Every structure is written in C-alpha cells, then in structure tokens.
Structure 1
Amino acid sequence: MKRYFFLLYLLVSLGANAQQQENHFYTDAYQTIDNMLNDRQKYSFKEAVFNVENAYYQGSLDTLALNRKVKFLGKFSKQIIDSRDLKYPDRDKEKVSKYAAIFTVLCQTTPVIVKNDTVKYKPFTYDFEDVFGHKELSNLFVSKLLDTQKGNCNSMPYLYKILAEELGVDANLALAPNHVYIKHNIKSVGWYNTELTSGIFPIDAWLMASGFIHLEAIQNGVYMKALTNKESLALLLVDLANAYNRNFPDNDGSFPLKCAERAIQVHPYLANALLLQAETHTKQFQKMMKEQNAKDIQATISNPKAKELFDLMNKEYTHIHKIGYRSMPQEMYLDWLVSLKTERTKYEDTRLSK
C-alpha cells in the first residue's frame, strides 16, 4: 500500500515538474523581453523573436542554425551594398543603401556569381496558405520563413527588422488591419511605406482603401504609426501570449493577461494587446458560467465577482471600438492585399522611383 501511494506521489510530482518545465520557456521569454523594455538587457529584436518562437517549440528551436541564416542574409546584403552605387543624392545615402539592399534580398530576384557562373538568387515569397496561423501558429514565424523562404505579413516585416538590426540601422514596424508592414523616414521624401508581401512601396491611400482604418485609429496610433523598438517588443509580448494559449488552451488566463498588461503599459493603444486582454477576460467569464452551470449571462452575473468581470469585459470592448479598431474578414484582407499588385500604378509611391 505504501508503495502504491509512493508511485502515485511520484507520478503527480513528475506531472507538476513537466508542467513547470513547459511553462519556464514562456516565463524566460517574458523576462528577456521585459529586461529589454527596462534597459536591463541589450535590445535585440532578433533575440526577442527567437525567444518567443522557442517557447512555442518548448526549447527545441535550432537558434544556432537560424542565426547562421540571418548572418548569411546580412552578409549578402552587405555584398549588394558594395557591388552597386545607389542613385540617391542626400546625406543619409549610407542608411538608405542598407534599406535598399534588405529590400532586394527579400523581394527581388538577384544575379549572383558562383564559381564563374551566374545564378539567380530567388527572393522570399508570400504564402497564401493559413495567413493568420489558424491551422498552425508557426506559419507566422520567422523560423518558418527562413526555412522555406515563404512567409506572410507577420514574418516578413519581422525578418526585415532583424536584418536592419544586423546592418546597424533602424526599421519601424507599422500596423494596419490584420497586417504588419515597414515605415521609414529618409531625407529625400520623409516617411514612406515598404510592403514586403508584394514587394512595392505603397502610398497611404492603399492602407486607407481597406475601408477598416478610421480616423480615430490613426489619431490614436492604432494603425499607421511607426512603432518604436520598445513598442515592437510589446507586439512580441502579444505573440508570446498567443503562443502560450496554443500550447496551453485550458490555462487560467494569468500569463496572457500579464503579457497584455505589460504590452499596454508600453503602447496604450496597441489593439492586439487590448483585444488579448478583453478576450482573456471573456474566457474567464465563460469558465465561470461553466463552473456555475449557468444557462445564461444573467444567471452568472448574480455572482458579484462574475458581474465585476462582465462589466470589465464590456468596458474593454467599448474602449477598443472607441479608439478606432475594426476587424477585417479574412477574405476581404486577401483581396485588399492582392489589390497592390492588380492596381500597382494606382497605389505605388512614385517619389521613390525618381
């Protein structure tokens, strides 16, 4: 009998330790990002991204191989810079040359001489399969992009920012409905947009053409704002929470809320974080309904704690709508994305071709 209880205790202990082992990848990734936000650790967008992805893979991500690929792309970018003279007249030519080289590596077919033979380097392409990562979250990852050279509006701008970091220049992420792109500020034209999914530089009118960007969203920095480095880390905290939810769908919501609240501290109008917070509270409320065996909301909110949570949810969703956030259906998003190619002459920023 004593042996039976010992075995039972051992199994329970091993289960607890396994859960702790699984969770520590997430707490470590959170701590890394938080250290960067608090300037206790050197900022590295690449390190933060790979920490998030490694947490999802529970420590099995081959970061050494990924770092080698990033180094190769960085060296390739430098070779492009050295092999051509960019026709650009202003004092920030060195910086702009680096932006142009990264764009070439990601979006353009490039002739490369290998052992006296000229071969064509094929660029990264947009993967229209599972663009939101509904089937498999890793379809949004930079690691998947580096392995397959196929990515989306999440992984491609992330890789662009990583390569900019590799070359010693800044790159600002920016948000649109369901979308991430790059914004740069250069002396010749000021701010301009870089769209990696289609490989062109669209004017702001293309972003507005989605029909889901309201004036309030622009004024509040929900959309079209050039994110700072720390605001980009806040975006990664949301990615971290979403990965955690995939690994542990029945979690109590405490870790996702921790990520959301820290992200909101950094960027109060980060819609992804505000939505994560509201949706986590919604799941907690639904769990209360289930635990109380309640058939409707009214029966649940008779409980003061449930009523408090319900009121908080409504307040959060109202705030999200008030600041201008709107959700775009997937079909409309894909049509909007394709419009850049089908209506290129209408939306391309001609200032950059002069």
Structure 2
Amino acid sequence: MRTLVISLLLFLSCSWQLTAQPQLLSSDKKSIEYQFFHQRTSGQPGLPNNIVSDPFDNGMNEQHQRMLPPHNILPHQITASQQTAQQAAVAYEIMEANAYWEQKAWFNKTAAYRQAFDQLNQFNPDSFSITNAVLLVENAFLDNRLPYEALLNGLKYRVEHVKQILKREGLDVRNQVALNYGIQKLFSQSNIYHNPATGKNVVIPPFQYDHIDFRGEEDYTRMFTIKLLGTGKGQCHSMPLLYLMIAEQLGAKAWLSLAPQHSFIQFTDHNGHLMNFETTNGHLVSTQWLYQSGFINANALKERTYLDTLSQRQLYAQCLADLLLGYLAKFGHDVYAEHIRESVLRIHPGNMTALIVGANIKREIAIRQIATAGYPPPDKLPQYPIAYQAYLDMQAAFEKVDALGYQDMPREAYQVWLKSIEAEKKKQEYRILKEKMKREITGLKNNKEARHPNR
C-alpha cells in the first residue's frame, strides 16, 4: 500500500496521514473484576491493539553475541573467584554491546519520527500550517520517502479546481461562504476541471468514503490524506483534514470538530452561525443527526469534548496525537512514545487520544502486575501493593476518560450511523439546511451581479 501511495503521488506530480474501547470501570475502587482484563485492548482509529512493547529488536541479542570476540577462559589456569569475576566482566561487556547496538538500531529506525517531532515542536501551537503539520506526520510513517513537491502539487490541483468551480458559478473567491461552498463541491458531486496543460475539460468524481479497513487496522496508510489525494477515497480522519488543508491554501475559515471515533467540518454562514459539513458523504448535517450516534453524553457536551470547534492549539495537539498513533503503529510503546504523549497533554490536557493511549498503557501494566502476583482473588488484591496500585492507576486513568464523556462506539454502530444520513436526507431539517445554503449562494450571486451589472 505504501508503494501504491508513493506511485499515485508521483503521478500527480508529473501531471501537475479507536476501535472498541475496553469497558470503563466503576468509580468504586473496592470493586475488582478480573474479567475486565479479558476484553480487547484497543483505542481510536489507527491505534494498534497492543501498544506496550519492547522498544528494541530482541532478535539483535544473538547477532551481537556472535559479533563479539571469544573470551578464552581456561578454568585450570585461574582460581574460582577469578573465573567468576572474569565471567561477570564478559557478561557486562556483552550487555553493554547489546545496549549500544540496540540503541543505535532504535535511533536508525525512528529517525524520521524524531525529526518530525522536532520540526513540529518549532511550530507556534496557536498559529501554524495544518498542511505542513499533516505532511510531516504522514511522511514520518513513510520514513520521509514521499517528496513534498508531489504532495503539494496534488493539493494545489484540488485548490485550483475549487477556484474554477467558483469562477464558473460567478462567486467571489474572497468570500468565506463561497470558498467553503466550493470546497464542499469536491466532496458532494462530480465537477468539470479544465486542464490548462491540454486545454481539455475532464470530469472529476467526488471524494468517496472508503469502507475497506476504514480504521487503518490492516494498513495504517489508509488513514492518510496522501492516500486520499492519490486514490480519491478516504475516511473520517483523512477527509476532514484534507478539507482543512484545501481551506488553508484558499484562505477559507473552517474548523475540525470531533464526535465519538469521528471528525467532521464546521464553518459559518454570513451571519456567523455554525454549520456542519460531513465530508464522508458530502452533505450538510444537523447537530441533531450528530447527536443520533447515541454515544454523545452530557459529560462530553459539558466538557466540550465533542461537537465543538477545535481551537488552533487543540488542532495542533491533535496533529501531535496523530504522530503518536503512527509511532505506536510502527514501533509500539516505548519511552519516546510516552515523551510524545506527554507533549500532547502539555498542549491540550483534555486530548482524548493521548488520554486513551495512557489509559490502555496503564491497563497493560495492571494486567502484568496482577499476573506476576498470581491472579489473587479480587478481595485479596490489596495485599499485593504493587499490583493493587497498578490496578488503581489504571482505574483512575479510565475514570478520567469517562469524565470527559468518552463512550465506545462499536464499528457496526458507527457504520449504521454513517449510513443513516440517507434517511436524514428525507427529513425536513436536512431540506432546511440545504435550502439555507442555496439561499446563501444565490444571495452572493445576486449581490455580485448588482455590483457589476455589465459583467
């Protein structure tokens, strides 16, 4: 898949980047139920099932030992104590060699991620380029093998397409409502594109939702905007991000907003009222429809976890969180992954991705500690301080996620919810939204004609 994405982006250049969560525990810390540990560890789209792993390649040990020179210890030539000391010295030498080569291997493998993280840290969290941030995050996963020129050319082609759409419809490319309307056309219908190189018009199909591996569990690159640019197909992670990238190039104002395991776009009408655009199906949607997922509770609304526009700082934190998820998908959890996660929380303490990752890590630690204690009966667990504390830490982490309003949305429920937009289109509220946008655009055209009657 990575080769496919690279090929598609190079082609563009020539022609012109939480499955089910474990059930949260009760806030009653006296209630200990081991069946919790038998549930699947998981996260949000793109989060690998097992995020706690050895940061180094364990297979290196045998290779390193073969590379070390032999130590000819002759037991009959030295005393027992000397032999023991010499064996200890050899063991220490082997350990140091292993640590050196493992560290060097880790640095080589993770170089692209450390470089991307360093570059992202130079951004101003309150004013940064979403385009540059997304390209850094996605290219890190691909070991910097994608040339930025190819990515930017693919993006510029879509930006030019929006300008052509607006020009054909007589809309001002400086008007915010018109700009969002033009971008939305790329997601809602086929559009004519005039190729200046050939002088021919071609029909470009809309971006489409990709139902195959839409959570990136089989192939993490399915989460990427570069995959969406290359194939025209994406999902609820890549499609809203691409919308924001196009909007940034055009100077249009739009915001990312979150729902359970989902993201969508918000923009304003000419009166400053927020409207919701669902990139996965190319339609305006009501806030009521977003509620109908059934997984948005009072805590989520109170804490503004869902259905609220992300500030620049929150969006920046989410980009760092995406970097974290890619790192976990490639290397598992290690000290550096924790460093990234802590950086996310320093920028935005309520970032759900970082909190869920942390809770799952504490869950894995609790599992290991309780296993080490021999799985004592639940009422006896407090007699094992280390295991019990690990259990309490895990419980506290999930309670924090719970307090912010997170609820797991099974993949089946998510798919049903997305398909429900077809039924929503038959309702009066949807027709009202559609007519409202139509009136906005008609008003813009009329105003332009009134100002320039001879054009």
TM-score when normalising by structure 2:
0.69
CA distance in 2, matches of 1:71, 1:150: 18
**Partner residue, 2:189:** 108
Alignment: residue pair count: 344
Q: For residues 377 and 206 of structure 2, what CA distance do their matches in structure 1 show?
A: 52
* Alignment pair present for 1:78 and 2:141: no
Q: Does the CA-based 8 Å contact 1:241-1:259 persist in structure 2? A: yes
Q: Which ranges of structure 2 fall in alignment gaps of 5 or more residues?
A: 1-64, 71-93, 440-455
Can you list the C-alpha shifts for 1:218-251, whole angstroms capped at 9, x where unaligned? 12111001001221121122222121111113x3
Matches for 1:276-291 after TM superposition, within 5 Å:
276-289=357-370
Query: 1:297 and 1:184, CA in 2 relative to 1: closer, same or farther beyond 3 A?
Result: farther
Cα drift, residue 323 of structure 1: 2.4
What corresponds to 2:299 in structure 1? 216
Distance between the aligned counterparts of 1:201 and 1:66, measured in 2? 28
User: Partner residue of 2:134?
Assistant: 49
Q: Which residue of 1 aligns with 2:112?
A: 25
Paired residue secondary structure (2:293): coil
Change (3 A) 1:240 1:186: same
Letter in 1 for 2:260: P
Secondary structure of 1:345's counterpart equals: coil
Q: Report the Cα offset of residue 14 of structure 1.
A: 5.0
2:408 counterpart residue number: 327
1:60 corresponds to: 145
Residue 200 (structure 1) aligned with residue 283 (structure 2): yes
Cα displacement string for residues 49-90 of structure 1 (whole angstroms, at most 9, x for unaligned residues) = 121112212222333211111122122222223332249xxx
Q: Which of 437, 445, 454 is residue 352 of structure 1 equivalent to?
A: 437
Q: Does structure 1 conserve the Cα–Cα contact (< 8 Å) formed by 2:161 and 2:193?
A: no
Q: How far off its partner does 1:26 sit? A: 1.9
Unaligned runs of 5+ in 1: none
Report the more deviating stretch, 138-147 or 343-352.
Answer: 343-352
* Preserved CA contact (<8 Å) 1:53 1:61: no
CA 1:38–1:139 in 2, change beyond 3 Å: closer, same or farther? closer
Q: How does 1:136-285 map to 2 (within 5 A)?
A: 136-188=219-271, 190-249=273-332, 251-252=333-334, 254-285=335-366
Contact 1:102–1:163 (CA under 8 A) maintained in structure 2: yes
Question: Residue 256 and residue 310 in structure 1: after superposition, are their counterparts in 2 closer, same or farther (change >3 A)?
Answer: farther
CA RMSD of aligned residues (A): 2.8
2:121 is the counterpart of 1:34: yes
* 3-state secondary structure, aligned to 1:211: coil
**Worse overlay, 227-236 or 147-156:** 227-236
Alignment deviations for residues 123-168 of structure 1 (CA, whole Å, 9 cap, x no partner) = 1110011111111111111111111111001000000001111112
**Any idea what SS the aligned residue of 2:110 has?**
helix
Q: Distance in 1 between matches of 2:360 and 2:66?
A: 45
Letter of the 2:358 counterpart: Q
Task: Please tell me whether Structure 1 or Structure 2 has the larger radius of gyration of its CA atoms.
Answer: 2
Kept in 2, the 8 Å contact 1:256–1:277? The answer is: no
Alignment partner of 1:5 is 2:64: no
Deviation at 1:277, TM superposition (A): 1.5
Cα-to-partner distance string for 1:161-188 (whole Å, 9 max, x where unaligned): 0111111233210001110100112333
Is contact 2:154–2:229 with CA below 8 Å preserved after alignment?
yes
Alignment of 1:123 with 2:210, yes or no, is no
AA aligned to 2:340 is: C
Equivalent-residue separation in structure 2 for 1:192 and 1:233 (angstroms): 22
| Aligned mates of 2:154, 2:381 — CA distance in 1 | 53
Q: How far apart are 1:93 and its partner, in Å?
A: 6.6
CA distance in 2 between partners of 1:129 and 1:211 (Å):
24
CA distance in 2, matches of 1:22, 1:156: 29
- CA apart distance, 1:207: 0.5
Quick one: structure 1 residues 180 and 199, their matched pair in 2 at CA, closer, same or farther if it must change by over 3 Å?
same
Q: The residue matched to 2:275 in structure 1 has which SS?
A: strand
Moved more, 66-75 or 261-270: 261-270
Equivalents in 2 of 1:223, 1:209: separation in Å?
13
Alignment correspondent of 1:337: 418
| Contact 1:174–1:182 (Cα < 8 Å) also in 2 | yes
CA separation of 1:310 and 1:71: change in aligned 2, threshold 3 A? same
Q: 1:117: Cα distance to partner?
A: 4.8
Cα distance, 1:287 vs structure 2? 4.3
Partners of 1:86 and 1:242 lie apart in 2 by: 40
Change (3 A) 1:4 1:233: closer
How far apart are 1:12 and its partner, in Å?
7.0
Residues 293, 304 of structure 1: alpha-carbon distance in 2 compared, 3 angstrom cutoff: closer
| Inter-partner Cα distance in structure 2 for 1:3 and 1:336 | 57
Instruction: Return 274-283 or 12-21, whichever deviates more.
Output: 12-21
Structure 1 residues 302-321: aligned runs within 5 Å = 304-321=385-402
What SS class does the counterpart of residue 244 from structure 2 fall into? helix
For residues 20 and 269 of structure 1, the distance between their equivalents in structure 2, rounded to whole angstroms, comes to: 30
Q: Percent of aligned positions with the same letter in both sequences?
A: 27
Q: RCO higher in 1 or 2 (8 Å CA, sep ≥ 6)?
A: 2
